[in-house]
Amino acid sequence: MSSPDPTGPARPVRAPRSLRVDVEDSVIVPLPTSYPASLLGRLRDVTDLRALPEEDLPGLAEEIRDVLVSTVTRTGGHLGSNLGVVELTIALHRVFSSPEDAIVFDTGHQSYVHKLLTGRGPHFEQLRRPGGLSGYPSRAESPHDLVENSHASAALSYADGLSRGFALAPGRHRHVVAVVGDGALTGGMCWEALNNIATSDRAVVIVLNDNGRSYAPTIGAVGRHLAELRGETGRFRLSVFENLGISYVGPVDGHDLGQLDGALRKARALCRPVVVHCVTTKGKGHEPAETDAVDRLHTVPPAPTGASTTTPARPAWTSVFADEVVRLGRDRPDLVCLSAAMLRPTGLHRFAEEFPERTIDVGIAEQHAVSCAAGLAMAGMHPVLAVYSTFLTRAVDQVLLDVALHGLPVTFVLDRAGVTGDDGPSHHGMWDLSLLQAVPGLRIAAPRDGARLARLLAESVATDGPTALRFPRGTPGPDVPELRTEGGVDVLHETGRRDVLLVTVGPLAATGVRAALKLDEHGIGVTVCDPRWVSPPDRALVDLAARHRLVVSVEDNVVVGGVGTRLAQTVTAAGVPTPVHALGLPTEFLPHSPRADILRRHRLDAAGLVRTITALAEA
């Protein structure tokens, strides 16, 4: 292995802004000052890594794996993907000089080792904890983090733009390195970027981290082609990258530090676009993760805390959906389910087990998934596309113009809607209502509990037009029964006095009922209702509003363009003078924190609703 070859001094790491704690939050998290005397403990920054003797590197890799396993199994986070890039990340920071050389990870969930090597080891124990390190790259934490990316297939576009900018700016030569998983190559943005990168002479190094899977085995022709390259010994065949005009190095063993060092230095010396094909093993060095065929250790939940309980656990929202869509599939031979590389996380693996011929995984390609669903609907099928809320926002144009413009019967199931918690700003599904309410003809349902999820899904697939069904991460609370139904609206609680109409969206219904009971004690009469189909607003909501002095809506979506905003417009347009106050989330990127904490901070818990409604009623 060659000696370290730094190309310029690395700037000192700033104090992570995300480690600051607001006094009003009352969350004080003590941070360790350093690791014990060890190889990892000696690394204050990547400059120390470059000075480390080569013979110490295998020991360093072993220490890093120990830290990953011990920490992530307690804090929760992405384990398998980071175990697979230990040697690769060490080699990257030995060969390239971050942050002078730009290193972008696609996706950012594989950046834990990068964090450990760039000065954040002392804070790693607080990964994904309130006030601690983000589970993704964070510009507030370090100048080594350029892109706060947690969605796949964008890194090559960033790399194209960075390299163009570097070429236009005066000064020294800078490399751009994009670490891209094989699963990310199933997304169209990668190929749009490659189409531009391939015709340039800019120093873009594409490190292909090929472990044969994202959440699941990489599908389609891309996965097949990479498997063929991995299996070739004589290298008699050109790779697709070489056919595009991009240099190709590999495949190399992504866990052999010597091979990695040689390949990366060769790529760096070319000073043109080049792919370094690194074959890695997801979960490397931790047998449960290496042999995890269904990727249960892709994302590890935090260790349980608090006293145990003998109460049987209720099924998660995702499990309720998974069971119901299978039941519907038995009765509906035209029902087809689609996923964007997330069959298991969205619960569609159960449908796939029973109806493999009616299950489609398009890879990490949400835009294609939506338009493919449109084609299925045109062919007489009823597609159900299950995707995380935050990922559907990448395909709003297709929802608008490929599905809704044609009035097609496609059902979008948005898992992880609203506040999601520990994955942070890029994973909160707090924009879907605002974006989708602008789509003509699209009906949106928000179930308040598991029973309503099953009913609304059945109603969705029976609808001759586009529908969306949104629910949060986690487990539904107990079912909230209705007192009566008015039009399409369920009335959950009412008193003799009609002071306030409280309109709740989805699982905030239970919160609204708790708040109403407390407000009753204060002499404020509250009617709590659940629209079930939250958009477009049901006419019954206008009639209910006319019979109350004040309307308050509450949702875990941004207020701008949300359900409450549209309800206020509808009530005003109907000539009803009752004022409508919309409560929701601010138009900000919210940090990672447990869902309950975020709702409390923004007064969307029961106590917060009581304070807000009391002030409004007494004004």
Which of 236, 268, 300 is the last residue in one of the domains?
A: 300
Write phi, then psi, for 131 (nearest 5 degrees). Answer: 80, 0
Q: What is the CA radius of gyration of the chain?
A: 26
Residue type, 406: H
**For residues 573 and 55, what is the distance between their CA atoms, to the nearest angstrom?**
74
What percent of the residues of the chain are helix, what percent strand, and what percent coil, each to the nearest 5? 40, 15, 40
Write phi, then psi, for 311 (nearest 5 degrees). Answer: -65, 125
Which of 300, 331, 350 is the last residue in one of the domains?
A: 300
Length of the chain: 619
Active site residue 284: no
Would you say 215 and 345 are in contact if contact means Cβ atoms under 8 Å apart?
A: yes
Asked if residue 149 belongs to a known ligand binding site, the reply is: no
Residue-wise pLDDT for 146-175, tens only, equals 888 767 888 899 899 999 999 888 777 899
587 falls within a domain: yes
Helix (H/G/I), strand (E/B), else coil: 199? coil
Q: Are residues 246 and 194 in the same domain?
A: yes
Residue 569 token pair: 């417009």
CATH number (domain holding residue 538): 3.40.50.920
Q: Are residues 451 and 567 in the same domain?
A: no
Asked if residue 522 belongs to a known ligand binding site, the reply is: no
pLDDT of residue 199: 92
**For residues 88 and 113, what is the distance between their CA atoms, to the nearest angstrom?**
9
Is the omega angle on the peptide bond into residue 467 within 30 degrees of 0, that is, cis?
A: no
Taking alpha carbons only, the member of 365, 363, 364, 361 closest to residue 352 is 361
Helix (H) or strand (E) holding 354: helix 349-354
pLDDT beneath 50: ranges in the chain: 1-36, 307-311
569 falls within a domain: yes
Residue-wise pLDDT for 362-411, tens only, equals 988 999 999 999 999 999 999 999 999 999 999 999 999 999 999 999 99
pLDDT of residue 389: 94
Q: Are residues 453 and 493 in the same domain?
A: no
Read off the pTM.
0.81
pLDDT of residue 434: 95
The Cβ-side half-sphere exposure at 434, using a 13 Å CA radius, reads 20
**Terminal-to-terminal C-alpha distance of the chain:** 74
Asked if residue 406 belongs to a known ligand binding site, the reply is: no
**Active-site residue identified among 94, 115, 358, 394:** 394
pLDDT of residue 591: 83
CA distances for 343 relative to 352, 388, 412, 448, angstroms: 8, 11, 14, 24
Q: Which residues 6+ apart lie within 8 Å of 26 measured at CB?
A: none
Concatenated DSSP letters for 532-581? Answer: SEEESPPHHHHHHHHTSSEEEEEEEEESTTSHHHHHHHHHHHTT----EE
Asked if residue 182 belongs to a known ligand binding site, the reply is: yes
Which of 241, 270, 300 is the last residue in one of the domains?
A: 300
Per the listing, tokens 């609304």 go with 456
Concatenated DSSP letters for 233-257? Answer: SS--S--HHHHHT-EEEEEEETT-H
**For residues 548 and 538, what is the distance between their CA atoms, to the nearest angstrom?**
16
Q: Are residues 258 and 157 in the same domain?
A: yes
Q: Are residues 152 and 256 in the same domain?
A: yes
Helix (H) or strand (E) holding 168: helix 155-168
Helix (H) or strand (E) holding 339: strand 335-339
Residue 465, Cβ density class (10 Å: 0-12 exposed, 13-18 middle, ≥19 buried): middle
**Active-site residue identified among 94, 115, 268, 282:** 282
**Active-site residue identified among 87, 125, 141, 366:** 366
Q: Are residues 171 and 262 in the same domain?
A: yes
Asked if residue 184 belongs to a known ligand binding site, the reply is: yes
CA angle, 315 as apex, 555 and 109 as ends, to 5°?
A: 70
394 falls within a domain: yes
Active site residue 282: yes
Would you say 205 and 174 are in contact if contact means Cβ atoms under 8 Å apart?
A: no
pLDDT of residue 21: 26
Write out the residue range of the structural domain in which residue 203 sits: 44-300
Map 276-302 to HEC letters.
EEEECCCCCCCHHHHCCCCCCCCEECC
1 falls within a domain: no
Q: Are residues 498 and 464 in the same domain?
A: no
Q: Are residues 429 and 542 in the same domain?
A: no
CATH number (domain holding residue 193): 3.40.50.970
Q: What residues are paired with 500 via a beta bridge?
A: 526, 550
Q: Are residues 185 and 232 in the same domain?
A: yes
Active site residue 366: yes
Helix (H) or strand (E) holding 384: strand 382-388
Would you say 574 and 540 are in contact if contact means Cβ atoms under 8 Å apart?
A: no
Asked if residue 175 belongs to a known ligand binding site, the reply is: no
Q: Are residues 296 and 154 in the same domain?
A: yes
Could you tell me whether strands 580-585 and 550-558 are parallel, antiparallel, or unpaired per DSSP bridges? parallel
Residue 429 token pair: 């599904």
Would you say 350 and 381 are in contact if contact means Cβ atoms under 8 Å apart?
A: no
23 falls within a domain: no
Is the omega angle on the peptide bond into residue 536 within 30 degrees of 0, that is, cis?
A: yes
Taking alpha carbons only, the member of 231, 228, 26, 57 closest to residue 131 is 26
Per the listing, tokens 């003797």 go with 53
Q: Specify the number of domains making up the chain.
A: 3
Q: What residues are paired with 418 via a beta bridge?
A: 429
pLDDT of residue 304: 63
481 falls within a domain: no
Asked if residue 211 belongs to a known ligand binding site, the reply is: yes
Asked if residue 109 belongs to a known ligand binding site, the reply is: yes
Per the listing, tokens 């520990």 go with 422
**For residues 359 and 424, what is the distance between their CA atoms, to the nearest angstrom?**
30
Q: Are residues 182 and 267 in the same domain?
A: yes
pLDDT of residue 544: 97
Q: Are residues 463 and 533 in the same domain?
A: no
174 falls within a domain: yes
